[in-house]
Structure formats: C-alpha cells, structure tokens
Amino acid sequence: MVEFDGFGPEKIIKVYNPKLDVKGVCVIDNSALGPGKGGIRMTETVNEEEVSRLARAMTWKNALAELPFGGAKSGITVDSKKISREKKDEIVKWFSKSLKIVVPSLYVAGPDMYMAEGEMEIFAKANGDIKSCTGKPKHLGGIPHELGSTGFGVYHSTLTALKFLNKDVKKTTIAIEGFGNVGIFAFKFLSEAGARIVAVSDSKGTVYRKEGIDFNELEEVKQETGSVINYKGGKILKNHEIVNIDADILITAAIPDLIKSDDVNKMKFKLIVEGSNIPMSEETERILYKKGVLVIPDIIANAGGVISSYVEYKGGNEKEMFKLVEEKITKNVKHILELSKEEKIDTRDAALRIAKKRVLEKCKICRA
C-alpha cells in the first residue's frame, strides 16, 4: 500500500497495454526542487508500492546531492529475461509514449534494473525529446552508467567514512554483495586504493578468499562463466552468507532487503556502505547503530548515478561527471557523519534531517 504524507507522492500514473499485457507505473513523489528524477526498472515483481518507496528515496537522494531534481521512479511489470528483444523494445516505446504528458517537465527518466543505454535511446526517440531521460548512449550526448558513476560514488562514500573512523583503506578487508555495475566498479576502485576484497557474491553464491580476490581474474570468470562462484582458490558459500563474512566493511550492491534484523547479531562488520537501494529496513539500521556499526545510507552512498545523470542533463562530459561525483559524495557523507556524531542520532536520521530541510526550504505546499 502506498503511503501518503506531507511530502507526497504528488502524482501516480498507472498504465496498461492490453495488446502487450503489460502494466506500468510512474510515481512523481515531490517536485519542490525540480522535475522528478528516477530510473525505470523492469522486473516481474515491481509494483506501485515498491516504485513509491523508491521515488521517495530519490526525493531525499537528490536533495542530499544538492541537485535541481525532485524525486520520482517508474516500473514496468514484466520479466525481461522471458521476452524477446523486439517485445522489450516495443514495451519501452509504449511506456515512453504513455508518459509523454509528464516528460521532461515533471519527470526525467533513466536506467534502472534491466534497463540500460539502449532502452534509454528508444525511450528518448519514442517521445521525441532528448531531455526526457538520461543514461543515453554517448552519440546522443549521454553519460552511460556503464562508466561506473554509482560504483565510483560508493568508493568515495567508503573512503570518507574510513577517514571519519581514522582507518587506513590499505588495512581494511571488504565484502561486496553483488557483482553487477555497482559492485564491479566499487571493487575496482577500492582494490586500486589498496583495500583487500575478501568476498563477493552474485545471485548464484558467494566466493570467499581470506587472502584477497584479484579483480581482473574475477571479472574474467564472471564474463566467461556467468558467476563469481567459479573463481578458483576461494571457498564457495550461499549468496546470503555474504552478510556473515569476517571483514571490516560490507558494501551492498544488489538486492533490496538483503539484511534482516535476525542477521545483525551474526555480523562482524564495522562499516556498511549501502550501494544498493533499501538493503535493509530503517529499524535494522537503528539496531546496527546501537551495536556500534556505522552505516552510510543508500540515499547518499549510491547517489553517484543521479549526479552523473545531472551532468548529462545539463550537457556536461565524463570528466565533469567524475569530478562532481567525488565532490558531492565526499562533502555530503562528511556532513551526515558529523551531524550524526554531534546530535547522537543514527546516520539515516541525520541524512533525512538534512534532506527534509532542503526540500522544505523550496516547498510551498509541503509540511513536515
């Protein structure tokens, strides 16, 4: 069930195509700071409630990153792995035309689960406005997320948190949940900085190697075999067992609701960086806070993607994107950590306090 409050959601657009037998939904949560910005995910389980939760996260994410965007999100309910390329393209065209009334004045789309630069090209061309979405191919002025902007932001979130904790990245061990676009680049940048990555998971399992995992070897194994569990020289565990690894840091980079409250007492991490969206409930975050575990919330940790989208939206280039991601992530993670320490509140509460203040300052109809 969608929850409404003093911030939104402002608009919920539900569409259905009987010919394709596909449902879609777009939630524009709050537009106080600008048009709603948020990607389109295509899964067989995505629904109005999930999209609404993600749209609210985008409201806070854009506010924390100090971007001129509100919060929004879209979902298309279909299993893209079970349909043809042609049907997927047809669905994207239909969904784009269905949202023509709100893009880009009230909503700017982007890629999310099972949507990439190819789909964004189709989306932009279908509604005839190049500014209707970001994450487009380079030849359309895009800065594709495949460059690793989100993972780069997760990397700087981790570095900033380690500096706050007076820890040396070269003396830390890290477990990474997920080896898709976010996990791959987080691994790459952190290993180049000297961190030791001891465990990585994907949908088929977890590979653990106390001595450390080689990035290039793991990437090759993933490409050639389809899973990290085929990495030689490591111990193979179930994918959820990534949360029980003995390491200093856990980076979540895949599924929502990964960490349950029952997992907390088994966890040994001192720092968790939320590279994925909603990897645990706010209540679980509070339990971890009481246990002394530092959590960098998703609404800032994985904001590299939307910062990249903003650079593309305003016509910038890749160099500007990486510079702005580093600046904004570092500044705002530091701000959250300092407020959390000063006010003796958990990092989620600190982040939300900052974000809500920024939205309310611009909002004519919102109420806290």
Domain ranges within the chain, ordered by starting residue:
11-57+72-142, 149-304+332-353
Q: Quote the pLDDT of residue 364.
A: 72
Q: Quote the pLDDT of residue 9.
A: 97
Q: Quote the pLDDT of residue 368.
A: 66
Global pTM value: 0.93
Q: Which of 61, 73, 88, 136 is catalytic?
A: 73
Q: Quote the pLDDT of residue 191.
A: 98
94 touches 22 (CB < 8 A): yes
On the question of a cis peptide bond just before residue 256, with omega within 30 degrees of 0, the verdict is no
* Distances, alpha carbon 35 to alpha carbons 55, 102, 228, 299, in Å: 12, 9, 39, 18
138 touches 144 (CB < 8 A): yes
Identify the CATH class of 149-304+332-353. alpha beta
pLDDT in tens, 254-269: 998 999 999 999 999 9
What fold is seen in the domain 11-57+72-142?
Rossmann fold (3.40.50)
Quick one: residue 174, left, alpha or beta (phi over 0 = left, psi -120 to 50 = alpha)?
A: beta
Amino acid at 77: T
* Distances, alpha carbon 274 to alpha carbons 61, 151, 177, 325, in Å: 13, 11, 10, 16
Q: Quote the pLDDT of residue 222.
A: 97
Residues of the chain scoring pLDDT < 70: 368
Q: Which residues are 41's β-sheet partners? A: 75
Q: Quote the pLDDT of residue 363.
A: 85
Q: Do domains 11-57+72-142 and 149-304+332-353 have the same CATH topology?
A: yes
Sign of the CA dihedral with 234 first, then 240, 243, and 244 last: negative
Q: Quote the pLDDT of residue 300.
A: 97
User: Minimal CA–CA distance to 71: which of 97, 33, 41, 113?
Assistant: 33
> Is residue 39 exposed (0-12), middle (13-18) or buried (19+ Cβ within 10 Å)?
buried
Q: Quote the pLDDT of residue 146.
A: 76
Cα–Cα distance measured from residue 190 to residue 196, given in angstroms and rounded to the nearest whole number: 8
Q: Is 73 a catalytic residue?
A: yes
Q: Quote the pLDDT of residue 367.
A: 76
